[in-house]
Amino acid sequence: MSKNLRQAKIVEEFDLSPLLTVQQIAQKLDCSVMTVRRDLADLEKANIVKRFPGGAILVNHAQQGTTPPAQQPFGIFRDEVNAVGKAAASLIQPNNIICIDSGTSSRSVVKFLPPDFPITIITTSLFCSFEIASNQNAQIIQVGGSVHQMTHSTINDLSLDSVGDLSADIAFLSTRSLRIPGGAYEHTLTLIPPKQFLASLARKVVLCVDHTKFGLNSLCIATEMKDIDTIITDSATSEDSIAKLVTLGKEVLIVDVPDGRIIHHYNNG
C-alpha cells in the first residue's frame, strides 16, 4: 500500500471514530506501530490530526468537541452555511432536476425551497431526502449503497450504477477544502466517487463553500477547478481568493450573512 493511500485510509478511520490509538490504527491497517506514528506525524504537519501520547484526534473534533460533521451546520458557522444555501436555492427553477451531495452547505439548499416546489432531486444525502420528503411535488431519487455514518450519506461505486443514465440541470456540491487553483478537496476517499458522479450528471456544477473552507489542507482532490462552474460563498471570504476565482473565469456569488442576499455577482452569464 502506498504512503498516500495508507494515510487516506487512516483519515477514513478517524472520520468513523474521531479519536484513535496508534495500536488501533496499526491493527486496522495491518501495518507497524512505527509506520502509523510516522503517518500521524505527517498528518499533524498538514493540520489534519492532533497527536497525543499513544494516539491522535481529528483537528476539527479537537477544536469543536466530538460533534459529527453531519451535525456541524447547527454549530459555529450555521449562519454562513444557511446564507450560502439560501442563495443557492435562488438559482433553482420550477421542475429543475438537481443533484445534492452529503455536505452541510449543499444540503442546506433544500431548506429554502417552498414547501410545494416542483423539483426532482438526485442525492446521496439521507438528511436531504428527509427534508424534502413532505413535498408532494418533489421526486426524490436516493442513490443507494452503503451508509457512511459520519455524513449520513450513501457511498461506494455500487450505489451509482442504478442512476447512471440520468441527467440534471445543476449539481450542488460541498467541500472540506477549496484550494485555488486546484479545486475542491476531501479527507475521505469513499466520499469522492459519489461527488464526482453527481457532478457528471449535471450541466452546471455549483460549489457551496463558506469562508472557513478556503485554503485548508486536505488529502484528496474531489472536484477539479476546471469542472466547477459557479462558487457561492459568504462575504467574509478574502478579496484575494475572490479575485483569483474571478480571474479563472468562474462565476462567483458573494452573499451577505445572515440573510443570504447576493451582494456581488461576478462573471454572470
Domain parsing of the chain, residue ranges? 3-66, 79-266
pLDDT of residue 171: 98
- Distance, CA of 245 to CA of 251 (rounded, Å): 8
pLDDT of residue 181: 95
Q: What's the mean pLDDT when you consider all of the chain? A: 86
pLDDT of residue 148: 59
- 57 vs 207 pLDDT, higher one: 207
pLDDT of residue 74: 37
Cβ burial of 198 (10 Å; 0-12, 13-18, 19+) is buried
Q: Which of 11-20, 123-132, 145-154, 166-175 has the lowest mean pLDDT?
A: 145-154
- Percent of the chain surpassing pLDDT 90: 54
Say which residues have a Cβ less than 8 Å from residue 255's Cβ, sequence separation at least 6: 83, 84, 86, 87, 232, 233, 234, 235, 261, 262, 263
Confidence of residue 72 (pLDDT cuts 50, 70, 90): very low
- 54 vs 170 pLDDT, higher one: 170
Tell me: pLDDT of 47 over 60: yes
Confidence of residue 149 (pLDDT cuts 50, 70, 90): low
pLDDT of residue 150: 57
- CATH code linked to domain 79-266: 3.40.50.1360
- Region 217-224 average pLDDT: 88
- Region 236-255 average pLDDT: 97
Give the best-scoring range by mean pLDDT among 70-84, 155-169, 250-264.
250-264
- Region 158-179 average pLDDT: 81
pLDDT of residue 203: 97
Q: Which of 12-21, 101-110, 241-250 has the lowest mean pLDDT?
A: 12-21
Q: Which of 53-67, 93-107, 175-189 has the lowest mean pLDDT?
A: 53-67
Instruction: Provide the CATH topology of domain 3-66.
Output: Arc Repressor Mutant, subunit A (1.10.10)
Confidence of residue 14 (pLDDT cuts 50, 70, 90): confident
- 144 vs 103 pLDDT, higher one: 103
- Region 165-171 average pLDDT: 92
- Distance, CA of 261 to CA of 58 (rounded, Å): 34
